[in-house]
Amino acid sequence: MKLKNTLGIAIGSFVAATSFGALAQGQGAVEGELFYKKQYNDSVKHVEDGYNPGASIGYFLTDDVSLNLTYDKTNHTRSNDGTGHQKIKGDNFGLNAQYHFGTVGDALRPYVSGGVAHKSMTNVIADGHSGRDQSTFLTAGAGVKWYITDNLFARAGVEADYKLDNGKWDYAPTVGLGVNFGGNGGKVAPAPVPAPAPIAEPEPEAPIAEVVRVELDVKFDFDKSNVKPQYAADINNVADFMKQYPATTTTVAGYTDSVGTDAYNQKLSQRRADAVRAALVNQGVAANRVDAVGHGKANPVASNATAEGRELNRRVEATVQAEAK
């Protein structure tokens, strides 16, 4: 019956993970997990090591930090050393915080954890009689989560528990399978695009002004945001044009190819736009005249199905126009 219940929970979790399109990692996400650990019971005398099934639920306070409630059941272990080979049972409750390394959307996210736990065991031999051992532990752990999809992950790690009663340690290598849902996906709100300034209607008698413009198209290497030296002349040309027409402003727009997650490409495209903006400012253009906006992998100019097309899509674009006097 216990096996059927566990399978039912696992299948239900998988269905939930694959049924909701709005599920995401990041701040605000909830993670639920079923795990199984090898429990080395070194802090209690006359108790064999065991295998403990358990479950946890956590909430991401930020993109990287989660707070987790855990429960596992002492199972598959007995007393030893001439104490009757009694079956040991118990309950373990814990609260811990996890810090995740890397970026939301990465397939592998290592983590470290720390917290507190309360554990109890029945039929523990102490002072010549059987009873219940109840203790408080400080916990520390480390491991890695593999996000098989944005919402389904597997975990492998190890936990060390320090028993405050006698200063001894327990250890527990652990594997788990879980679901993640409800977060912001690591996305940040894009920078607002300034509204264009209204253009005054010319007087009927005035001659029609000639509009002059200059365009900028900077390409980037895969997963890079540094501006290559070959585009220095093009950037200088745009900077000279803006200095010639001091009333002009522009917005540099950054893009990526389709490789990688939406969250990562959004940040990469913003870094590329910021790099071109910085190059224009370094050439003497006032910072308040240049905005930078990342658009991720939106608006491709070529097919992402080929290497040549992806190379064309890794770009920053800008246009500046003015009325010639």
**Ramachandran category for residue 287: left, alpha or beta (phi over 0 → left; psi -120 to 50 → alpha):** alpha
Residue recorded with tokens 């915080």: 97
Mean pLDDT, range 28-43, rounded to an integer: 87
pLDDT given at position 255: 95
Asked if 47 and 124 touch (Cβ cutoff 8 Å), the reply is yes
Say which CATH architecture domain 2-181 belongs to.
Beta Barrel (2.40)
Domain map (residue ranges) of the chain? 2-181, 210-324
Distance CA 113, CA 139 (A): 8
* Residue range 61-103, pLDDT digits in tens: 998 999 999 998 887 676 666 555 667 777 889 999 999 999 9
> Does the pTM of the predicted model rise above 0.75?
no
Distance CA 53, CA 310 (A): 47
Structure tokens at 89: 């049972």
Classify domain 210-324 at the CATH superfamily level. OmpA-like domain (3.30.1330.60)
* Residue range 112-158, pLDDT digits in tens: 999 999 887 776 655 444 566 778 889 999 999 999 988 899 999 99
* Residue range 272-293, pLDDT digits in tens: 999 999 999 999 999 999 999 9
Distance CA 94, CA 70 (A): 5
Judged against a pLDDT cut of 70, whether residue 222 lies above it is answered with yes
**Ramachandran category for residue 128: left, alpha or beta (phi over 0 → left; psi -120 to 50 → alpha):** left
Side by side, which strands form the sheet with 210-219? Answer: 210-219, 315-324, 250-254, 290-294
